């Protein structure tokens, strides 16, 4: 799995951090999304899919194939 986070689209709602804190973080200065890892291990896949599904700005893209 590969994860892409679009910082231009992000509105800083923090939903992704709540869903998968091992994968997503927020910039100190404005709360905009940053990726901690972009190829999460299988045990985090479900949480990452959840993060993408609840992101209000549709800023997270999940590529299931590596």
The residue ranges that bind another protein (CB under 8 A) are: 9, 11-15, 17-19, 21, 26-32, 50, 53-54, 56-58
Pairwise CA distance, residues 31 & 46, whole Å: 24
Contact (Cβ atoms closer than 8 angstroms) between residue 31 and residue 59: no
* Nearest approach, Cβ of residue 48 and another protein (Å): 14
* Nearest approach, Cβ of residue 35 and another protein (Å): 15
* Nearest approach, Cβ of residue 20 and another protein (Å): 12
Q: Residue 9: which residues within 8 A CB-CB, separation 6 or more? A: 57, 58, 59
């Amino acid at each position: 799995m590969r994860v892409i986070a679009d910082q231009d689209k992000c509105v800083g709602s923090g939903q992704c951090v709540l869903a998968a804190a091992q994968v997503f973080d927020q910039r100190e200065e404005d709360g905009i999304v940053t990726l901690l890892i972009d190829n999460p291990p299988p045990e985090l896949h479900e949480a990452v899919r959840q993060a993408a599904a609840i992101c209000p700005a549709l800023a997270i893209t999940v590529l299931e194939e590596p």
